[in-house]
A and B are shown apart, each in its own frame.
Chain A
Amino acid sequence: MLLLSGTLPVEDSSLIFGTIKYDGKSISLGDKYIPKELGSIGAMAMMAASATAAEALGIEAPMGVVAGDMGQGAGSAALYAYLTEQAGALGATAVTMHYILPIRKPFMEFTEMLDYWKKRPFMIADAGSMLIAKATGACRKFDLFTPDAGEICFLADPQAGHPAYVKSMLFEIDTTEVPKLIEKAYAAGNAPRYLLIKGPTDFIVDDGKIMYTISEPNIPALEPIGGTGDTITGMVSALISGGYEPIRACVIAGRANRLAGQMSNPTPATQVFEIVKHIGEAVRKVADTS
């Protein structure tokens, strides 16, 4: 079973937990419907894509845990507490951490608690959870990161505490010399075993070795669309929880995201929910041929 965690941009920091259901229009966790305007941004885009991919491939529906947080940390603190104190009893085989405010102490408590889980889950991080993993030296406690260009140059820069501190010489090459950045990230211990780097070309990496690159179909209009990285993270999480070998899961997620993007005939103004609509069909097609 997969557990996806992240925040919602609302004030109420109460936890919402349950099986994720997405019907193509609205998303719910257990019996709680998420307001429609929140249903396709940030962690919700990830959860919608994950639930869609799981359903398409006959994988157990993912569970989700979210809390409201507008950037001040209350909801994130509630999520860390849940992950530390309660999530271990769920028996999740994979856990994905997404838009959560980096808070040092509770994050470290959670990653230490993982050692006491009956079976260690496959740990995936994206967004703010990658920032705090690097800041606390915990990258190797994770199994997969899904960075984009701005994030891979951040992982490659040992001094940078955030992508805003990255040396400009690394920023300049973040889409043109990705292999060099991969080498630096692993050399500094700032990468988990697997990386799925999202960009004009996707790079799939196992312990520093580039296993696959994905460049086709090339759809430049996907780059500005908020949430297209979140959908990859959601898909790859579902696939891994469904027993797909991690490298194959990364390949399928990377290809399916591009195919779903192509099916939506996007412009830079397209919203990610237009792409999520096609993820079921795309992931099924790609999984059959990859």
Chain B
Amino acid sequence: MSSPHKRTDQYGLSRSLFLFELFRDAMRAEHVLKRAGFDTKAGAPPPEVRTGCDIAMSVPSNQVNSAEKVLLADGIPILDVVFASEGDLPPLQVSKLVKKVDFGPYLMIRIGNMKLTFEKASGVIVNISGGGCPDIPLLALRMIGQPLDKAVSPNELGFTLCAYTLQKAYEAALQAWRKMK
């Protein structure tokens, strides 16, 4: 892991990005850093280190050493730290990537590449489609056939950005179903 020893904002690299091996670690890091009062932003890692299903957490470069200590104290493994300018961290767009398709007795929620469909009358999840990471088939296995309000949530079992996206679809479905009731 690389550590910065000098201020980098003089080069326009005002943000330091923490990279993680697992998406779930990134989510924990966001929670821990925000709780500790850091100005934390989430977004796509730089192209040269991107895997396609990951997210980075950034803090101002002048806070990177203290942020690193907080993360390590909480047992969150850091894969690497890289520097970026303010605009180099494309944000997640999931809140803007929502479509609903009404199939009469069923409603399908699509967020990004994830689709979750439930029966309106019972709230039972009848299908989950899309995604590319290995935890999605597991989540489909556990969630299909369960009512929305009793199903395991993707956040509990998932490790990847695909699972995070499914979580957002699940939350939107739950909200839509509660409005129907």
Contacts and interface: CB of A to CB of B under 8 A. Distances in A.
Given A164-B161, A165-B92, A221-B103, A9 B51 contact: no
A103 B133 contact: no
Nearest to A45: B137
Q: How large is the interface on B (under 10, 10 to 19, 20 to 34, 35 or more residues)?
A: 35 or more
A46 B177 CA distance: 32
Contacts of B131: 127
Nearest to B52: A131
A126 B136 CA distance: 14
Given A9-B141, A42-B136, A128-B53, A166 B129 contact: no
Interface residues of A, number: 59
Nearest to B111: A164
A159 interface: yes
B106 A268 contact: yes
B149 to A, nearest CB: 18
B126 interface: yes
B97 A134 contact: no
Q: Please give me the 7 A-B residue pairs with the lowest Cβ-Cβ distance, nearest first.
A: A71-B135, A131-B52, A150-B113, A9-B138, A71-B159, A128-B132, A42-B137
Contacts of A134: 52
A163 B129 contact: no
A127 B136 CA distance: 10
A161 interface: yes
A130 B132 contact: yes
Given A168-B93, A223-B101, A223-B115, A41 B52 contact: no
B128 A7 contact: no
B80 to A, nearest CB: 12
Given A171-B93, A223-B129, 17 more contacts: A9-B137, A71-B157, A75-B134, A99-B134, A102-B132, A102-B133, A131-B51, A135-B51, A148-B113, A151-B132, A154-B113, A163-B113, A165-B92, A166-B97, A223-B101, A268-B117, A269-B126
A182 to B, nearest CB: 17
Contacts of A223: 101, 108, 115, 129
Contacts of B165: 163-164
Contacts of B51: 102-104, 131-132, 135, 161
A267 interface: yes
Given A164-B112, A164-B165, A226-B127, A128 B133 contact: yes
Interface string A136-163: 0000000000001011001000011111
B138 A71 contact: yes
Interface string A163-191: 11111100100000000000000000000
Given A226-B127, A226-B140, A100 B134 contact: yes
B152 interface: no
A143 to B, nearest CB: 19
Contacts of A37: 141
Describe B's contact surface by its main secondary structure.
mixed
Among A7, A70, A129, A165, which residue has the most Cβ atoms of chain B within 10 A? A165
Interface of B: 21-22, 43-45, 47, 49-54, 90-94, 96-97, 99, 101, 103, 106, 108, 110-115, 117, 119, 126-138, 140-141, 144, 157-165
A100 B133 CA distance: 6
A261 interface: no
A71 B23 CA distance: 10
Contact of B132 (A73, A131, A271): A131
User: Chain B CB within 10 Å — which of A69, A100, A131 has the most?
Assistant: A131
19 contacts: A9-B138, A71-B133, A99-B134, A101-B53, A102-B51, A135-B51, A161-B52, A163-B97, A164-B94, A165-B91, A166-B93, A171-B97, A171-B112, A223-B101, A224-B115, A225-B129, A229-B130, A269-B119, A269-B127
Contacts of A103: 51
The residue in B47, B53, B113 that gathers the most chain A C-beta atoms within 10 A of its C-beta is B113
Nearest to A105: B51
A112 to B, nearest CB: 17
A101 B93 contact: no
Nearest to B164: A164
B53 to A, nearest CB: 5
Given A163-B165, A223-B101, A269-B119, A229 B52 contact: no
Nearest to A41: B137
